[in-house]
Amino acid sequence: MERVGVFICECGPNIKDAIDIQELVGFASRLDNVVMTLPFRIFGSEEGKELIKQKIRENKLTRVVIAACSPKEHEHTFKQVLEEAGLNGHLLQIANIREQCAWVIRDKTLATEKAKVMLKGAVRRVIHHEPLEKKEIECVPDVLVVGAGVAGIGAALTLAQKNRKVYLIERLPSIGGKVARYEDLFPNLECASCVLEPELDEVFHKENIQILTCCEVEEVLGFFGNFTVKIREKARFVDVDACIGCGACFDACPVKVVNEFNEGLDERKAIYIPYPGALPNVAVIDRGGCVRFNGGECNACQLSCPFGAIHYDAVEKIHELKVGAVVLATGFDLFDPKRAPQYGYGKFDNIYTSLEFERITNSDGPTGGKIQLKDGRAPQSVAIIHCVGSRSERHNEYCSGICCMYSLKFAHLLKDKLPEVKISQFYSDLCLPAKDNQRFLSDLFKKGIELVRLKAAESIEITKKEEKLLVTYKGIFGKEEKAAFDMVILSPAVEPTQDATKIARLFDISQDEYGFFAEEHNKLAPVSTSTEGIFIAGCAQGPRDIQSSVAQGQAAAGRILSRLIPGERVELAVTTAKVDEELCGGCRLCMGLCPFKAITFDEEGRHLRINEVLCRGCGVCGATCPSGAIRSKHFTEKQIFEEIRGLL
Amino acid sequence: MAKPNIALYWCASCGGCEEAVLDLNENLLKVVEAVDIVLWPVAFDFKYKDLEAMKDGEIAVSFINGAIRLSEQERIANLLRRKSGLVIAFGSCAHLGGIPGLANFWDREAIFNRIYKEVPTIDNQECNIPKEIVKIDGKELALPVFYDTVKTLSQVIDVDYYLPGCPPPPDLILQALTAILEDRLPPKGAVLAPAQSLCGDCPRKDSKPEVIHIKEIRRISKIIADPDRCFFEQGVICLGPATRSGCGARCIEANMPCRGCFGPLDNVVDQGGKFLSALASIFDTNDEEEIKKRVDSIIDPAGTFYRFSLPSSILRRRRISNN
Amino acid sequence: MDRFEPKIIGFLCNWCSYEGADAAGKSRRKYPANLRVIRVMCSGRIDPQFVMEAFRVGADGVVILGCHPGDCHYKEGNYKALKRYHLLQKTLAQLGIEKERCTLNWIAASEGEKFAEIVKEMVKKVKQLGPIDNSE
């Protein structure tokens, strides 16, 4: 027999004036199992709380019902009170007679009647409550950074501290992201590798940072403070410790394949290092191109390696990383101009995207830095077209923010390398924010370029006329004009990566309407997401320049450093679900429904099992289970049935 | 020592449970050796007054099959309860209401109208319907009251154990009899079959994918089901996950989905409601129009989910409005 | 039957809809006293058996309230509620409980007014339908 105590809060005049307290007290005291009823001015006060504790002890209460304000206000407080009086906090039920009764019913009689019914429901329910223990685990202070471009590296360097480990994973065989492919950077034309290399070097050698290349995320479980991330590391087939990057293997390799690092402008071998100085400076075999991995016989690279570093039998590895937070810095892809046939890309020669042109100007690129046409001649006239795929109704509505600057940069580079070249920039608006960018344009005028303003970003078409490329466009007055050029450079939009949706789903974050990762708040929370513990940085969040990407990486790191503190404990959900393994017939209908992947199938016992650390207590599985084998703690069928019966 | 007495009685039933007893085959002879059958209307004649004359508890065990739909059935059920030590609800009808329970979608008036007036094959010009008291040649004849609502056995008397199934399989019957004779029965109120769902016993359980989603509901009569794959996975409604095992998955072996005759598991009050929840939860769409389409494609949800268990369900019967 | 006061049971999820109900209270928005609320963590916890039991024990109407799609604290629990709700409604209709007696709505934490309107609408509709005849 339970001993239920009912405490009725008058809440000053709030409840007292709207409900007949005396009648309510009388009613409550006549309910089954109620051994004590007490009204009071304000139970939330120190005096009120002490009174409750006193009455619990005096009357040896085993269950408590408090009729007061909403449980969303003070449930936490009252649970504490019970604990201090020696009763488990879950042996409490609150009847919300303020927000959902006194404040919403004008007629005192009706309000009192409703309060009675609410008390009846609460008393009947609380009898079936069970004590539940609070569960905590220690948070994992380590962090996973996905993407080793400038944003990811910025985050990793800020995070790596004495008592915190950083895992920096990268899909490609080498780190550095897009910036590793650039030659010079705006707005001061500093050399990209001079800026980047020291950072790469530092991140590569820093003690608390573990870099994993050729890796992709496979599965994410858990929550802030306690994530388990499964990473799939593809095989390099080259021993990272033995290889010194001497290049003997690429010399020996008989196969040539398209070189994606140079945007397909030249070829590389099937065993390769992406570029001289790449980190890690270790070769990797491209299975797609390699003769041996496509059924042929060849071991030229292995034979040529003086260090025995090549192992054809290397296998994929799965890493299970335990981290407390994640920074997603997965970068961007460029709009494929083939989607806009008006630009002639892919149809005619000598039309290049910005990334292709970067590689052409790069001293490590396909032409050794020489700016030349397909037939090897230097161009005498170059058109640079802005907003290819940006600011477009058909493609991307937004401005990609960096193209005007790098388009001007190209003009600078062209003029420096080919002083006589004639350059025309076709644009509809110029986007040159930030401190130093306007000067970049003014300096260019001194070198002599033509700026042609278009009526609209897309009022332009490129065709071939004899040996040249013909640019047909509408100027600001709408008149159609034509001009011929040897070379055309397109500035395509910055778009989310191909796998952005896959990553967003894995980490359970939202994407904005364009597919970029959505920030939690446009102004106040630009690097966090609506999923606690998952942060975003760099172009993965939206088009931005290097300075801004690095800033975001550091910002995400800062947020993590202040929230994920080593030694702190994370509270787990208490009202979790549990499978009765004897009853469970293994129908598996629940498994796919758990949004937190907390349910797994025990192959041996042939029943389902719920991981209590991952379970957040939503109860979906409990409602689904057709065998009644899943019990949702604190919201069991019995408890809810009794509450229903009490309320009617 | 005198052999214990047993009684077998039938209420609103089809006779299949009687057949099930006969299906014990040679084992029936062993049974008859161990007990005295004092009442079995299908097998031999008896009079109610003989039953009334017995002492309370004189019958060790009564196996009552069939649902309760007539006052006579209720009366005899009560009588047997008084005269018996143990009462076992035998078969789906007694346990859950069974197929006769589907009559709970209608009431007496609707049923009589249909059977005695509307059915095309009836020739009933005078619109005669059964009445409780009829005078013929100056003598009064009484018929039992035909209830509006079909009830389970436990809704009219205190039941000790339940033997589920439509009908209970012979091996389960034999197990129960042996347990009774050897005094090895579980605590009162138990259902004498395993406490797990049919999925645990299903021959197709290893073919189940990791995640089961329903894209499209397919009716078993309209397709040729793959005999090796889980029905659910093929989009066919199979009540296996919501049904107690113990039948040996006979229907599954015959390439028919489970229809739920063994009733719900121990923790479940309403078999149909729980199954409804499971089925809807795994529709693989979040779009409301698609959801509605899928719901529309289930022709008779209440009849399908409550095929054997309507009287035992929470709502028990259709509410017929007074308007 | 003109003094018929329907009993309405509301299943509210802890996060959005319960907050929405409290919001109505905080702004002193009045609504009929016929509603009795049961709090669950997520609308996805709502078992059709709960709704049936409510009707059995005397509810004349049931409202199910959850978070707007996309806002569920547990990601997609509200969609589970939606799926079960449609199948449940059809099944209840076969059992003589009119579709209008069981409704499902989405309430955000700030939508106190919408909450009050839903309760008013439900009470009005169920009054028209009359009580459920639970006699056997």
Judge if A12 and A86 occupy the same domain: yes
Query: What does the pLDDT look like over A407-428, one tens digit per residue?
Result: 999 999 999 999 999 999 999 9
Place of tokens 């593809």: A234
Judge if A420 and A487 occupy the same domain: yes
Please give the residue of chain C at the shortest CA–CA distance from A640: C50
Judge if B31 and B162 occupy the same domain: yes
Whether the CB-CB separation of B246 and B163 falls below 8 Å is answered with no
Judge if A261 and A343 occupy the same domain: no
Residue A30 in any domain: the answer is yes
Judge if B157 and B65 occupy the same domain: yes
Looking at residue A527, its amino acid is: V
Query: What does the pLDDT look like over A67-109, one tens digit per residue?
Result: 999 999 999 999 999 999 999 999 999 999 999 999 999 999 9
Tell which residue, A180, A177, A146, A144, has the closest CA to residue A160: A144
Counting the structural domains of chain B, the total is 3
ipTM confidence: 0.97
CATH number at residue A396: 3.50.50.60
Q: How confident is the model over B82-93, as a mean pLDDT?
A: 96
Judge if B204 and B266 occupy the same domain: yes
Whether the CB-CB separation of A89 and A113 falls below 8 Å is answered with no
Whether the CB-CB separation of A529 and A517 falls below 8 Å is answered with yes
Is A54 exposed, middle or buried (CB count within 10 Å of its CB: 0-12, 13-18, 19+)? Answer: exposed
CATH number at residue B165: 3.40.50.700
User: In chain A, which residues have their Cβ closer than 8 Å to the Cβ of B241?
Assistant: 585, 587, 589, 626-627
Tell which residue, A248, A139, A55, A142, has the closest CA to residue A613: A139
DSSP output for A175-241: S-GGGGG-SEETTTTEEHHHHHHHHHHHHHH-TTEEEE-SEEEEEEEEETTEEEEEEEEPP-SB-TT
Phi-psi region of B150 (alpha: psi -120 to 50; beta: other; left: phi over 0): beta
Q: Do C50 and A100 touch (CB under 8 A)?
A: no
CA atoms within 13 A on the CB side of A501: 4
Mutate: best of B212, B232, B244, B315, partner A, most A CBs <10 A? B212
Partner residue facing A105 (CB), from C30, C77, C80: C30
Residue B323 in any domain: the answer is no
Judge if B32 and B121 occupy the same domain: no
Q: SS3 for A422?
A: strand
Predicted pLDDT of residue A571: 85
Judge if A365 and A470 occupy the same domain: yes
DSSP secondary-structure letter at A278?
-
Judge if A411 and A506 occupy the same domain: no
Q: Do C53 and B322 touch (CB under 8 A)?
A: no
Strands A136-138 and A569-571: antiparallel
Predicted pLDDT of residue B226: 94
Window 8-47 of C: residues touching A by CB (8 A cutoff) are 9, 18-19, 21-22, 24-26, 28-31, 33, 36-42, 44-47
- Is the backbone peptide bond immediately before B186 cis, with ω within 30 degrees of 0? no
Judge if A613 and A549 occupy the same domain: no
Predicted pLDDT of residue A530: 82
- Percent above pLDDT 90 for chain C: 88
Tokens of residue A56, six digits: 């619990």
Per-residue burial over C72-84, b if 16 or more Cβ lie within 10 Å, else e, is bbbbbbbbbbbbb
Predicted pLDDT of residue B1: 64
Judge if B112 and B234 occupy the same domain: no
Residue B191 in any domain: the answer is no
Judge if B269 and B168 occupy the same domain: no
CA atoms C79, C80, C81, C87: torsion sign: positive
- Is the backbone peptide bond immediately before B203 cis, with ω within 30 degrees of 0? no
Judge if A392 and A414 occupy the same domain: yes
Q: Where are the domains of chain C?
A: 8-129
DSSP secondary-structure letter at C106?
E
Predicted pLDDT of residue B321: 72
Q: Do A584 and B281 touch (CB under 8 A)?
A: no
Residue A547 in any domain: the answer is yes
Q: Out of A437, A461, A495, pick the residue that ends a domain.
A: A495
Looking at residue B76, its amino acid is: I
Judge if A511 and A595 occupy the same domain: no
- Domain of residue B66: give its range: 5-100+149-181
Query: What does the pLDDT look like over B114-124, one tens digit per residue?
Result: 999 999 999 99
Please give the residue of chain C at the shortest CA–CA distance from B310: C95
pTM of the model: 0.83
Predicted pLDDT of residue B212: 85
Place of tokens 């049936």: C52
- Domain of residue A285: give its range: 248-304
| Rounded CA separation A251/A226 (Å) | 47
Judge if B24 and B165 occupy the same domain: yes
| Rounded CA separation B91/B19 (Å) | 12
- CB contacts < 8 Å between A and B, how many? 88
Picking from A445-449, B220-224, C16-20, which range would have the lowest pLDDT averaged per residue? A445-449
Predicted pLDDT of residue C2: 61
Quick check: B104 pLDDT over 80? yes
Residue A88 in any domain: the answer is yes
| Rounded CA separation B129/C19 (Å) | 58
Place of tokens 């939202």: A510
Q: Do A114 and C54 touch (CB under 8 A)?
A: no
Tell which residue, A537, A563, A529, A140, has the closest CA to residue A321: A140
Tell which residue, A130, A38, A34, A47, has the closest CA to residue A87: A130
Quick check: B70 pLDDT over 50? yes
Predicted pLDDT of residue C136: 58
Residue B68 in any domain: the answer is yes
Predicted pLDDT of residue A177: 95
Judge if A340 and A484 occupy the same domain: yes
Counting the structural domains of chain A, the total is 5
Judge if A284 and A368 occupy the same domain: no
Judge if B155 and B118 occupy the same domain: no
Judge if B24 and B56 occupy the same domain: yes
Q: How confident is the model at residue C70 (pLDDT cuts 50, 70, 90)?
A: confident
| Rounded CA separation B102/C105 (Å) | 32
* Cα–chain center distance at B92: 2
Q: How confident is the model at residue A570 (pLDDT cuts 50, 70, 90)?
A: confident
Partner residue facing B270 (CB), from C49, C69, C87: C49
Kindly give the residue spans of alpha helices, DSSP state H, lying in A59-149: 71-84, 108-126
Predicted pLDDT of residue A445: 86
Partner residue facing C41 (CB), from A618, A641, A648: A618
Task: Give A601→chain B minimum CA distance, Å.
Answer: 8
| Rounded CA separation C25/C10 (Å) | 16
Q: How confident is the model over B217-240, as a mean pLDDT?
A: 93
CATH number belonging to domain C8-129 = 3.40.50.960
| Rounded CA separation A19/A11 (Å) | 11
Mutate: best of C63, C75, C78, partner A, most A CBs <10 A? C75
Judge if B78 and B168 occupy the same domain: yes
Q: How confident is the model over B54-70, as a mean pLDDT?
A: 96
Gyration radius of chain B over CA positions = 22
Query: What does the pLDDT look like over B262-317, one tens digit per residue?
Result: 999 998 999 999 999 999 999 999 999 999 999 999 999 999 999 999 999 999 99
CA atoms within 13 A on the CB side of C31: 28
| Rounded CA separation B306/B100 (Å) | 11
Quote the mean pLDDT of chain A.
94
Judge if B56 and B73 occupy the same domain: yes
Looking at residue A196, its amino acid is: L
Quick check: B323 pLDDT over 70? no
Tokens of residue A273, six digits: 């290092």
Q: How confident is the model over B94-106, as a mean pLDDT?
A: 97
Q: Is C91 on the interface with B (CB under 8 A)?
A: yes
Per-residue burial over B83-102, b if 16 or more Cβ lie within 10 Å, else e, is bbebbbbbbbbbbbbbbbbb
Predicted pLDDT of residue C1: 47
Predicted pLDDT of residue C135: 67
Instruction: Report the 3 state secondary structure along A299-331.
Output: CHHHHHCCCCCECCCCCCEEEEEEECEEEECCC
CA distances, B30 to each of A425, B24, B36 (Å): 103, 10, 11
| Rounded CA separation A631/A576 (Å) | 8
Quick check: B74 pLDDT over 50? yes
Predicted pLDDT of residue A119: 97
Judge if B177 and B209 occupy the same domain: no
CATH number at residue A122: 3.40.50
